[in-house]
Structure formats: C-alpha cells, structure tokens
Structure 1
Amino acid sequence: MPVPAHLIEKIDLVFNLRERLQKRRAAEQSLWSMSKPTAWRMVKRVMVRAGIEGPQATGKGLRHGFGIACVLKNRPLHKIRDWLGHTDTQTTEIYTTVIGAEDRELLMGVWDDDGNK
C-alpha cells in the first residue's frame, strides 16, 4: 500500500526500515518481523501516549478508523476493500455506515450557518 513520504520518514526514524529493507531480498520485504502480541503491545503504548482510550485504542480500532477516514475522503469502495484485505465488498460496506461523531460532522455539513438546508 502506498504511504506518504512524510509518514515514511517518521516510520523510518523509529524502525530504521530503509536500511533493513536494503538488506533483504525483494521477495522478503515485510516491514516488521515482530510477533502479533509484540505489535499489539506497541499499538497499546502508542494509544496511551496519544490519549486514546476505549475500544478504539486497539489495532482493530486503527483499522476501523482508517476505513472510516477512507469513506469520508470518498475513496472508491473497491480500493478500500483491497487496502483492508477484505475479499468481499459487502464487508467493506460496513464503513459506509458512519456513526457517532463522524455522523454528526457529516450531517452538520448539510446545514448552513443559519440552519437552512
């Protein structure tokens, strides 16, 4: 999945990815060679530092947030499906049913400052 250059720079600062990837063969270029529990602990640590709590403070929460962000940015559903690794677009359609604060934000955009449609 393409990643913006500024984000790659930040990831590289923490994980030294460029050097690691240069040492590996092209077919073996996974970004991280850590276990799932290690990755989970890392995500939890980052969430605590960011002040994010609750069910969204998980890898699943990050994934869901990414899906919602893609929908809010009007990205094609079939591309979101591919990026999230879904086999069926119906699974991805879950992200089109935005709820909570995101829903309020979208709805408020319908009204002008005077409360008119």
Structure 2
Amino acid sequence: MSEMRLYDTAGNRLYLNAEERAAFLAVARCKPARDRTLCETLHFTGCRPSELLEITPARVDLSGGTITIRSLKKRKDASGNSKIVYRSVPVPPEYLDTLNMAHGIREAQKSRKQAAAPIWPLSRVRVWQIVKGIMIEAGIPEAPHRSPKGLRHGFGINATVNGIPLHMLQKWMGHAQLSTTAIYADAVGKEEQDIAARMWGQDSLGVRKSVVQ
C-alpha cells in the first residue's frame, strides 16, 4: 500500500486550502440540487466518492445531525476475517435541511425500499466530472489537488487547523491507523500559520489576543 501524502514527488500540494474550499462550496451552492448536495456531502464529511455513492436515506440521521458512511477500505477482525465498518460523521444542520428538501429524506425513510436506495445513483466517473467542473468554475488552478481526493485531504487539513483531535478525525475519515491521520498535522502555509498563531496567543494577522486576568 502506498503511503498517503499531502504533497506529490514534485512538491505539489495535494489538498484544497481554506480559500479553495470556500470557493468550491460557493459555486456548488449555485448548482441544481443533485450536484449541490453531492458536493456539500463531500465537503462536510470528507468521504470518498465511492463511499458517497453508497449513502442512502436510511444512513441520514436528521435529528442526530450525522451521516453514516460505510468504510470501503478492507478491515479484519481479531480472527483475520474481513469485517464491515461504519462511521458516523457530524454535519451542519443547514446542510441536512438542504439534503432533506432536495431528496425528500424524511419521507423516503418511511419506506424500506426507498430508504435503502442510493441518494445519488451515479457512477464514480460522473461524480468526478461534476466535482472537477465545479472546481474549474471556482477558479481552482489545474494542479494535482483539483480533484475529489484534494477535497478529502482539504477536509482533513481544515479539521486539524480547527483543533479537532486526531483520534476523532481518524474516526470521521475512516482511517484504520492513527498514523495515517497524523499526516494532516503536517500542515503548511496559511494553515500552519493559523496553528502557530494559537500557540503564540495571536490571531492569524499577528494581533495579540487579550488575556483575561
């Protein structure tokens, strides 16, 4: 298995930064409901496109505020047998409201057949095309990070910058090993400045925060 990285061998960034993530989301929210919710799901859960295509209404917890995702990476139990692993990722209530309105999630959950049907009955290639098209429109430059994988890595970086503990991020992203998740602590540029600013007791503009005595 190849080691997961945030940069390719030429030093090119493999993740979307905060500005690119915001631009991507802004453009996605102007698109038809199917494409908008597809992009918002990738943005807010950090899931892989193949995992997104398995999400059904039954896996959307409107009251609990989570999306349950089946981890597609193979796992083995103590006996060495393959096992299925699910993870629940907390998401914003506004996103869930949009998802429910666009796809009739609450109504679909009343029918066993509809509750088990994929929300986005598309191919992986089509998902890639939708995401790439929106990234281009958002002005994200042609580079290795302009991809669904770049969006997933951006989710990990964003969580790290905002102080999410690595063990929690490991669960949200479906990593088998904490060492895999730890690559997101290797943030650079603007992201690293934000992390360092908290250590110094400053904001990202270098203005020292007031301290309550």
TM-score bracket relative to the smaller structure = 0.7 to 0.9
Unaligned runs of 5+ in 2: 1-88, 209-213
Q: In structure 2, how many angstroms separate the alpha carbons of the residues matched to 1:52 and 1:74?
A: 26
- Of all paired residues, the percent bearing the same amino acid is 33
Name the residue aligned to 2:103: 16
Higher helix share: 1
Name the residue aligned to 1:78: 167
Q: In structure 2, how many angstroms separate the alpha carbons of the residues matched to 1:34 and 1:51?
A: 25
Counterpart of 1:33 in 2: which secondary structure?
A: coil
Please show how residues 105-116 of structure 1 align to structure 2 within 5 Å. Answer: 105-108=194-197, 110=200, 112-113=206-207
Counterpart of 2:90 in 1: which secondary structure?
A: coil
Q: In structure 2, how many angstroms separate the alpha carbons of the residues matched to 1:20 and 1:32?
A: 16
**Alignment match of 2:125 (pick from 13, 37, 50):** 37
Please show how residues 38-53 of structure 1 align to structure 2 within 5 Å. Answer: 38-53=126-141
- CA distance 1:17–1:43, shift in 2 (3 Å): farther
Q: Deviations over 1:34-82 (max 9, x none)?
A: 2110110111122122222232221111101100111112112122112
Name the residue aligned to 2:189: 100
Name the residue aligned to 1:28: 116
Q: Deviations over 1:1-23 (max 9, x none)?
A: 2321211234456x525278435
Residue type of the alignment partner of 2:196: L
For this pair of structures, how many residues does the alignment match? Answer: 113
Unaligned runs of 5+ in 1: none
Higher strand share: 2
2:93 is the alignment partner of 1:5:
yes
